[in-house]
Amino acid sequence: MQLKTALLSTAVIAALAGLATQVDSGAIASRVQSLQASAVADPAAASATASTRSTAPASARAIAAHHAVAGAIANAPGARPGSDLVASSNSPEQADTSPAAKRARALLTGAAAREVHRVEADAFAARDVMIDRDGTEHVRMERSYQGLPVVGGDFVVHSQDGALTSISQGDNMRTFDRPDIQPRISVAQAEVEAGAAFDGKVASIDNAGLVVFAQGTEPTLAYQMELMGDRRDSQLPGHFTYYVDAKNGKLLHAEDRIQTAAANGTGKSLLLGNVGIVTDSVSGGFQLLDPTRGNGSTLDAKGSDNYVSAFPGAVQFKDSDNVWGNNLSSDRATVATDAHYGVAVTWDYFKNVHGRNGIFNDGKGVRSFVHVGTGMDNAFWWGAQKLMAYGDGTDFLPLVAIDVAGHEMAHGVTGATAKLGYYNIKDTGGLNEGVSDIFGTLVEYYANNASDAGDYLIGEKLVKNNPSGTKALRVLFKQDADGRSKVCYPSGGFTASQTYQNGPYDPHLTSGVLNRVFYLASEGVVVPKGFSYTKAQLVCNNDTAIAGVGRDKVGAIVYRALTRYFVSSTTYPQARTWTLQAAADLYGNTSNEYKTLARAWTAVKVN
C-alpha cells in the first residue's frame, strides 16, 4: 500500500508543529520503544529504586528522555513538575510482567493485604501500569480466587520508591468471605435463566465459565453467560453478559455490552462542510482506511442490523479520485466522511493531549460502520467487537457528529482502563456516561472546526430544526432541562435497582451530576450565551460565585482520575475523592484548581 501525505486539521498541524520544535521525531521513535521496554518489560529494572522520595526510581529515570516529547503531550496545563506520564503499558500481558506489577504484588503480601481483604487463595494480575515522571507507579489489578475471576474485585495500587502510598478500590470486596466454588446447578439451567432474562429473540448463549461475582453483593459463585440476539424494541445489537448464581439459579446481574450514544483526501461531509481526511492508496484508487492512526477503517453496513456476525454484508468505502461524498446524505460516502474525520480527531485528542496511543493504548485503530440499521436514531460503541456504529437517524440527522464520535470512543477508553460498570450498579453508570460526555465535549473543542464550534452541548448538530443551536441530546450545565435527568446528588446516591435501561436512574440521566461538576469547575457559574437560566439554576446549593479554572485543566484531572484511580464500581462520593486526588497530584491540594473542583462537587451535593 502506498501512503500519501496526510492532510490534517489545523489543530493537529499546530500540535505536530509544536512537537517538531522540541526534538527530532525520528530519533525519538526508536528511543521511546527501547526506553518503554526498559521501564515496563525489563525484569532487571525491578530492583532499581531510589533512596529518597525526591528521586525517581531507575525505571522512571530511564524514560525521562522520552519526555522531551511525551511530557509536553501528556502533562496537564500548568501542572506541577513530575506529575506527567513517563510510561504506560500497552497490553495487559505487558503490564502483568512489568517490574512495577511485581512490586505491587509484593506490597499486597504485606501492609496492603488487609486493606484489600486478601485471603490465601486470592491472586492478582496487573491489567495496566502507568508511571509518573516522579516515579509514582499506578498498577491496576484484577483479582482471582482459586483461579476464578472476581468480578468487582479490581483495584489500583499506588506506590513510590517501593512504598505503598494508597489503594483505590470500590466497596465490593470489604470482606474476607469467599464462596464454595462447586456449582450446584448445571450450565444448562444457567442458560435457561439467561435466556429468560433477555427481552428479544435469542441467537446464541455461550458459557464463559465460572466467576466470583461481587458487585453489590457478597462474593458469590456464578456462571458468566454471553448472550447474543435481537432486541424486541430496539435496533441496537443484543449482547448481554448475565451472571447467574451457581448455587440457586438466581440472576445476579445483567450487563448490557452496548454503550450508546494515509492519503490526501477531501471529505464533503454532512455536518462539517469540506474537511481533510487521511485515506489509503490502493490499486485502482483509495479506501477509507487511516494508516497513520492504527489502520482505523470506515465501512458501509448497508442497513444491516445483523449483529451476531457484526454486519456480515458491510463493505469498505472505496473511491477513485479521493473526494468523498457531496455534503448531502444522498451520497453514502458523505456521512462516512463525518465518521472517519470524527475518529481521527478523537485519536489525535487522546494522543496529543493525554499521550494515549489509541483507545486501548496499543496503537491499533478501530472499525467504524455507518448506515447501520434502518433509520436508527442512535450511535454506539461495541467494546467486545472493538467497533463504532452509526445510525442514519429518523427523528435526528445521521448520528455522526464529532462530539458523538468522541463520546462513544471515550466509552472504549473507559472500558480499557477503569471498566466503569453501567446498568444496575449504584452511581457507576452515570459516571461512565458523564466521562464520555466530558471527553466528547473536549474532542469537539479540540477539533476547532468553525462548522461545529466547541460548546457544552452533546449532539446539537443532529437536532433537526435547531436554528438557535440550543437544543441537544444533553446539556452539560443544565441536564435536567430535559425533565428527567438528575443534576443534584440525592442523599444515599442512585439506587442500583433503579439504574436499569430507561429507568428513573438510567445512566444517561444520572450523568448530569458529573457533567455539571465538569462545567462548573471549567467555566464557573456562568450562563452560556443563548440561554436564559439564572445563576442559581446552575448549582444545587446557591454557591453562585464559583470561578472556573478552564476545561483543559479539568479534562486533565478527569483523565488522570479515570486512568489511575477509578475502578469498576466507583460511586459519586469516591469520584469526588479520586478526582480531588488527581487535582492534588497535578496542582497540589492547596491550589486553586483543587479548591475550585471541591466547590463544584459540593455545588451538586456530593460531599
- What SS3 class is residue 119? coil
Tell me the sheet residues that pair with 474: 458
Mean pLDDT of the chain: 86
CATH number (domain holding residue 464): 1.10.390.10
Residue 139 lies in a domain: yes
Q: Is the pLDDT of residue 266 over 60?
A: yes
378 to 172, 370, 388, 400: CA distances (angstroms):
33, 11, 11, 9
**Eight-class DSSP state of 269:** -
Q: Taking residues 238-256, what's their average pLDDT?
A: 95
Shared domain check, 212 and 140: no
Shared domain check, 427 and 391: no
- Tens digit of pLDDT for each residue in 436-474? 999 999 999 999 999 999 999 999 999 999 999 999 999
For 387, list phi and psi in degrees, rounded to 5.
-145, 160
Shared domain check, 250 and 329: no
Q: Taking residues 324-346, what's their average pLDDT?
A: 95
- Tens digit of pLDDT for each residue in 80-107? 988 989 999 999 999 999 999 999 999 9
Q: Taking residues 205-214, what's their average pLDDT?
A: 96
Burial class (CB in 10 A: 0-12, 13-18, 19+), 30: exposed
DSSP calls for 151-201: ET--EEEEEETTEEEEEEE-STT--------S-SS-HHHHHHHHHHH-SEE
Query: Cell 473536549 maps to which residue?
Result: 442
Q: Taking residues 189-212, what's their average pLDDT?
A: 95
Q: What is the pLDDT of residue 311?
A: 85
Burial class (CB in 10 A: 0-12, 13-18, 19+), 202: middle
**CA 104, CA 128: separation in Å to the nearest integer?**
12
Cβ–Cβ under 8 Å, residues 548 and 40: no
Q: Which of 137, 408, 460, 523 is catalytic?
A: 408
Shared domain check, 596 and 513: yes
- What SS3 class is residue 388? strand
Residue 272 lies in a domain: yes
Cβ–Cβ under 8 Å, residues 21 and 14: no
> What is the share, in percent, of the chain residues with pLDDT greater than 70?
86
Q: Is the pLDDT of residue 54 over 80?
A: no
Shared domain check, 152 and 289: no
Question: What is the crossing angle of helices 512-523 and 592-603, to 10°?
Answer: 140
Residue 97 lies in a domain: yes
DSSP calls for 24-80: -HHHHHHHHHHHHHHHHT-GGGGG---SSTTS--HHHHHTGGGGGTHHHHHSPTTPP
Shared domain check, 570 and 516: yes
Instruction: For CA atoms 432, 433, 434, 436, give the dihedral sign.
Output: positive
Instruction: For CA atoms 234, 238, 243, 248, give the dihedral sign.
Output: positive
- What SS3 class is residue 138? strand
Annotation says 508 is catalytic:
yes
Residue 175 lies in a domain: no
Cβ–Cβ under 8 Å, residues 476 and 515: yes
Q: Is the pLDDT of residue 51 over 80?
A: no
Q: Which of 362, 383, 416 is the last residue of a domain?
A: 416
Shared domain check, 231 and 128: no
Residue 338 lies in a domain: yes
Q: Is the pLDDT of residue 9 over 80?
A: no
Q: What is the pLDDT of residue 234?
A: 79
**CA 209, CA 217: separation in Å to the nearest integer?**
19
Tell me the sheet residues that pair with 434: none
Q: What is the pLDDT of residue 70?
A: 36
Q: What is the pLDDT of residue 110?
A: 84
Domain hosting residue 134, numbered range: 23-68+77-166
Element (H, E) at 285: strand 285-287
Q: Is the pLDDT of residue 42 over 60?
A: no
Question: What is the crossing angle of helices 402-416 and 332-354, to 10°?
Answer: 50
Q: What is the pLDDT of residue 265?
A: 66
Nearest to 445 by CA among 5, 1, 4, 9: 9
Q: Taking residues 154-166, what's their average pLDDT?
A: 95
450 to 352, 400, 517: CA distances (angstroms):
21, 17, 27
Residue 329 lies in a domain: yes
Cβ–Cβ under 8 Å, residues 317 and 377: no
Count of Cβ atoms closer than 10 Å to residue 471 Cβ: 16
CATH number (domain holding residue 364): 3.10.170.10
Shared domain check, 433 and 312: no
- Chain centroid offset of residue 349 CA: 13
**CA 90, CA 303: separation in Å to the nearest integer?**
35
Q: Which of 416, 450, 475 is the last residue of a domain?
A: 416
Shared domain check, 501 and 544: yes
Number of domains in the chain: 4
Q: What is the pLDDT of residue 308?
A: 65
Q: Taking residues 421-428, what's their average pLDDT?
A: 92
Shared domain check, 564 and 433: yes
Q: What is the pLDDT of residue 503?
A: 92
Shared domain check, 142 and 61: yes
Q: Which of 203, 230, 256 is the last residue of a domain?
A: 256
Q: What is the pLDDT of residue 74?
A: 64
589 to 44, 455, 557: CA distances (angstroms):
35, 29, 13
Which residue has better confidence, 64 or 155?
155
Shared domain check, 411 and 426: no
Residue 305, all three cell numbers = 442490523
- Tens digit of pLDDT for each residue in 99-153? 999 999 999 998 799 999 999 999 999 999 999 999 999 999 999 999 999 999 9
Residue 363 lies in a domain: yes
Q: Is the pLDDT of residue 567 over 60?
A: yes
Q: Which of 354, 508, 523, 593 is catalytic?
A: 508
When computed from its CA atoms, the radius of gyration of the chain, rounded to whole angstroms, is: 24
Residue 1 lies in a domain: no
Cβ–Cβ under 8 Å, residues 209 and 224: yes
Question: 401 Cβ partners below 8 Å, 6+ apart?
Answer: 271, 338, 342, 452, 459, 460, 461, 462
- Tens digit of pLDDT for each residue in 377-408? 999 999 888 999 999 999 999 999 999 999 99
pTM given for the model: 0.83
Cβ–Cβ under 8 Å, residues 231 and 238: yes
Q: What is the pLDDT of residue 261?
A: 59
